[in-house]
Every structure is written in C-alpha cells, then in structure tokens.
Amino acid sequence: MGTTPDELDYDFLFSQRGVLNLAHTLQDVREGTRRVNANRLNGVDAEWLAPEEVAKICPILNVSPNTRYPVLGATYQPRAGIAKHDHVAWAFARRADELGVDLIQGCEVTDFLRDGDRIVGVETSQGTIRAGRVGLAAAGHSSVLAERAGFRLPVQSHPLQALVSELHEPVHPTVVMSNHVHVYVSQAHKGELVMGAGVDAYNGYGQRGSFHVIERQMAAAVELFPVFARAHVLRTWGGIVDVTPDASPVIGPTPLENLYVNCGWGTGGFKATPPPAGPSPTSSPPASSIRWAPRSAWSASPPAPWSTNTAPRPWPTENDEENAVLLLNCPWCGPRDETEYHYGGQAHVPYPATPDALTDQEWAEYLFYRDNPKGPFAERWMHSTGCRRWFNVLRDTASHQVLAVYRPDETRPAPHHVQGPGENR
C-alpha cells in the first residue's frame, strides 16, 4: 500500500514546505548539529542553518539576540511539511478497505480472547471478533489494553494540547518547532495558525490539559513571532499520547503469541504513521527483543473506569472551569494551584532491597516501568515554590479529581472519598 497522495488516490493536502527545529542554547546547537550529521550519514538531506539563514527561510521569525529565547541556529529539512490529518486517515482507510480490511467504527475493544498463552481474537462493544493475529495500536490507551492482556508496557499517558487561530492571510511559509520552549507553529491551507504545546507533566486520560501550559506556549510563540500578537485563538483541544522513557516507539511481538504492539510514539504518532503501516509479520519474531514486566500489585486492580473510549464530553460541563487547573492541598501550606508544584511521578516505588543482586532486566523494570492506570493513581508532588516538601496525591487520571492528599509517612488511603471543593479538586 502506498503512502503518497497519488499512490493512495486521495488528496490529503500534503505541502512540502520544510521544517525548522530551533536551537536556543549551546546544548541545543550541539544536539542539532549531531542530528544533522547523523541524518546526512543516512542519506537524509538535512541542513544546519545560522540565525541569518533561518531568517531567510522564515522572515517573520524573530532572530534578535535580545529575546528571551534567542535563536542560535536551526536544523532544516526542506522536504518535510504538513498534511491534513483527517484526509490522511481517510486515505489510508479507503485504501485498506479496497484491500479487504473491515473498518468498524465505534467498536471498543473490551478484552482479549485467549487459548492458553495465545491470543485468538478480541471482545468488543459490538461482539466477538476472532483473528489469527491481533495488533495493539491504541496510542494513549495502549497500557490500559496491555493490562487487560496481563503484561505491562514502558509507557506513560499524558495530555497533549493544540490550538488553532482564526483565518489569516498566508504569512508563515514553513513549519517551526522549538523543543526548548515546547511549541510548534505552522499555517494551514485555509489560513489558520496551528500551534501545539508540550505534554502536561502528570499522567492523565482526560482530553484536556492545564491552562498554564497553553498560556506559556502562547507567550513563547508571540515572542518568536511578534506578528501573531493580535491573532485570536479560535479553539483548543487535548489528546492523549503514550510516551516512553527514551521517546522511542515500541514495535514488535508481546509475551502472548499472535499479539503485536505498536505504541510509544508520543507526540510524533501522526508523522510516524506510514512506516509501521506495512503488512503484519507472518511469523513471530523472538519475544526476547523486547523487555516485558508482569503486572504489579498496584496495577492489578481494574481502573475505574478502565474503558478506552475517548469520545469528548458534551461542551460545556459544570466541572470544566474548575478542572482547568489542578488545586492541590499541600499538607503544610494549604491549597495552591498546580503551577506551584513539581510533579514527581508514581508514589510508593521502593528502592531495591538488594540492588547488587538485580539482573539487567530487573534494573530495567525498576527504572523504566511505572503503573499507568486509567483511574485512581498514587503520585508524588513537591511544593517547589513553597515549603519544598514532598507529599503524595491520590488522583483519578480520567477525571483529574483529587481523591486524597497525604504525607509520605502516612498510609495510602482507600480511593473511596472524593474531596469537596473546599478541600481539593
């Protein structure tokens, strides 16, 4: 199956306008030049540009050395570009349909059919489907379904936000990305500005992110592009992405025969669609190529709700305003919003009692595997702008409701009491 508009016989508005990845620090420069050299060694026509060359590619970009985020250079890939996401999805779907693939919309997978350690199909909201091979490609919900199958994935699910502006005349000739300030900017075919931010720090399955992430993104974007200062945001939205510790995807077999996984693409899933779209393997490669871990005691309890359904809620709802920013009740300082805190990941992860006796796989499991439930989750937070003390929070990752706050020397409470507005949310 092809990957270009001509091969797929579908115009998905692919525009090869190039992509700039900005460097704002000396470390960014070193990393960018290494990446360019690595790409060239592999036959990719990447370039390293000085600030004045960046300005020629994108004249509206502020490359002044006096800005908060000075542009010290950029990598440039001239053949990269943008496409219309939904057109790409329908192009692949139509071609797959022509090849005999049945595409069933609104069909949620609820469990796996087993024959011993072999997967023979799936249970869905619309009935049973049997299959010789099953591919697990559920993005942010990959670990939820892996949990149903009985193994863990080294991924964490985070909200990722994006936004678009009102329509403007064409002013932005390329795509500009900045990993340092976590923002990318392009202009779509109709004229709206498309911008994206970095992931929210904490795990979450709710299709919304925190307001301060968008606020910081807009501040950085306006400094890089002063011409956008008077643009108006038309709408924002959030999705769920699966992120691995080293930002590398996981593709291959699982501990269960006939079950394959494609996950961990993080914020680059759309851009990575064509490579894994080829035929599934006819025989199972060795499972030893991927390290797996059994379910932990904490993740063995089913999350509530565990459903992978990502349909957006009706807009607006009575809780949307109060959910825009987490309010955490520091045990020592009282309630503060999340901008005062630093997220520390999963709580109750003990250091190995006998570290010298651990195998490489056991060390990998300790360092890289964390629970990722859709439901109650015990996590660590530090009041970084206040008392600078660590404490634990029991939070529902689907609704972002804070169920309890407790000190490290206290026992984890049962997730049965939802605190009211005067306590935490």
Instruction: Say which CATH class 104-155+245-294 falls into.
Output: alpha beta
Residue range 311-425, CATH number: 3.30.2270.10
Q: Are strands 342-346 and 334-337 parallel, antiparallel or unpaired?
A: unpaired
Decide: residue 160, CB within 10 A, 0-12 exposed, 13-18 middle, 19+ buried. Answer: buried
Q: What percent of the chain has pLDDT over 70?
A: 83
Q: Which of 397, 392, 403 is nearest to 425 (CA)?
A: 403
For the stretch 17-53, pLDDT in tens is: 999 999 999 999 999 999 999 999 999 999 999 999 9
- Ranges of CATH 3.50.50.60 domains, the chain: 104-155+245-294
For the stretch 218-242, pLDDT in tens is: 899 999 999 999 999 898 888 899 9
- Ranges of CATH 3.30.9.10 domains, the chain: 18-80+157-243
- Ranges of CATH 3.30.2270.10 domains, the chain: 311-425
How far apart CA 58 and CA 184 sit, in angstroms, is 14
For the stretch 58-98, pLDDT in tens is: 999 999 999 888 999 999 999 998 888 888 888 988 988 99
Q: Is domain 18-80+157-243 classified as CATH 3.30.9.10?
A: yes
For the stretch 170-210, pLDDT in tens is: 999 999 999 888 889 999 989 999 998 888 999 999 888 78
Angle at 390 between CA 389 and CA 394, to 5 degrees: 140
How far apart CA 327 and CA 337 sit, in angstroms, is 4
The confidence band for 1, taking pLDDT boundaries of 50, 70 and 90, is low
Per-residue pLDDT for 425 more than 60? no
